[in-house]
Structure 1
């Protein structure tokens, strides 16, 4: 959804986004509400045109990554977990799983029968969070070309990348997908981390 919005040169309505994305308007609404809460989308009312309430217009904010104060907080928390935990990667992944389930629930996640669709929902979530997710057709191998917490991830990859892997596992669970084989390889190639979402 965020990628579709970023492709638009001017603010668009929810109905237009539904038509562009092929998603039901209720699904689009849930995505837009989550993106607005994350500060990745700006919403404002259109000019009045006849009777009834003006339509809301949506525009991607252009925000890349977390605001600096949140990135600083994330780095401080990562440093503390790294320093004080006997199992920082596992603790970070556990926290990430809780976060991933919560984020998916906020998007109205329900288990889906098709694993590719479930993985696709998680890829969309990652894209909305600013990871620049680029997946293969089966949504099994995903290149993450951006990181909202890149500086902290370079300093404390065990914690930050652990949280991100947990986030993925938690979201997969919320969509009813198997998490076995899910793995994240930080900085696997220049400019990208590599995420594997189980098997096709």
Structure 2
């Protein structure tokens, strides 16, 4: 029977501190041992100063990657503290050894490969992008789409919202003729100087660029009195793709 207040399922992986050098070696030593280790034992095995080892242990403990408990003792006096790896710590160590976690880029590339192998992959990619963009608008609340900060009391201009979202996603958008855009938010030409999925985009442009095209369509779809028209020209200019938003 489920207890009140108990959340089913796993916990999220905690925010990881910098894991390299001696700190990663400390975490690795804890991972390889079945029993808790104290500072003296870790120092003798890894070298260095006890205070340095203790400092790294404190960081690992605060991050939820190690646990700390008094070791059993048969004599008097304060028992030494023993440190053991937690499940999250074991996962973090193995991720570091493997070159890092499977992140959003890995999932995105897997999705691209899947869609590229389907006869209607390009159309599905664009539809997926629209759904994604619309979801960002809905999740962020009125006038915002994936932009950190408090919700705006009034509707955010379409181009401003698109630019802010693309910037956060890693596209380095540059608005051509920003003075004209500032005067009237009805149209804008935007250069996308970088791409977070460039290698995949070169291999499968219809899919990757289709997702990004649909993404912007989704971001602009709820604008009144009428939605904006979005055009994306992949690899259209030296050093950029060209995105156009018009009334």
Q: TM-score range by the shorter chain?
A: 0.5 to 0.7
Does structure 2 conserve the Cα–Cα contact (< 8 Å) formed by 1:165 and 1:184?
Answer: yes
The residue that corresponds to 2:175 in the other structure is 135
TM-score, length-normalised on structure 2?
A: 0.47
Tell me which of 221, 227, 231 is aligned to 1:178: 227
Name the structure 2 match of 1:96.
129
Counterparts in 2 of 1:188-199, with a 5 A limit?
Answer: 188-199=236-247
Equivalences, count: 131
Unaligned regions of 5+ residues in structure 2, if any?
Answer: 1-14, 16-100, 145-151, 182-186
Inter-partner Cα distance in structure 2 for 1:146 and 1:152: 13
Higher Rg: 2
Higher RCO, Cα 8 Å, sep 6+: 1
Pairing partner for 1:118 from 133, 151, 158:
158
Q: Separation in 2 of the partners of 1:119 and 1:94?
A: 21
Q: Structure 1 pair 175/150, CA: closer, same or farther in 2 (3 Å)? A: same
* Counterparts of 1:87 and 1:157, CA distance in 2: 14
Counterpart in the other structure of 1:45: none
State the Cα RMSD in Å. Answer: 2.8
Alignment-derived partner of residue 81 in structure 1: 115
Does the 8 Å CA contact 2:143/2:155 hold for their aligned counterparts?
A: no
Q: 1:115 deviation in Å?
A: 10
Q: Match of 1:149? A: 197
Pairwise CA distance, 1:118: 1.6
Q: Quote the offset at 1:190 in angstroms.
A: 2.2
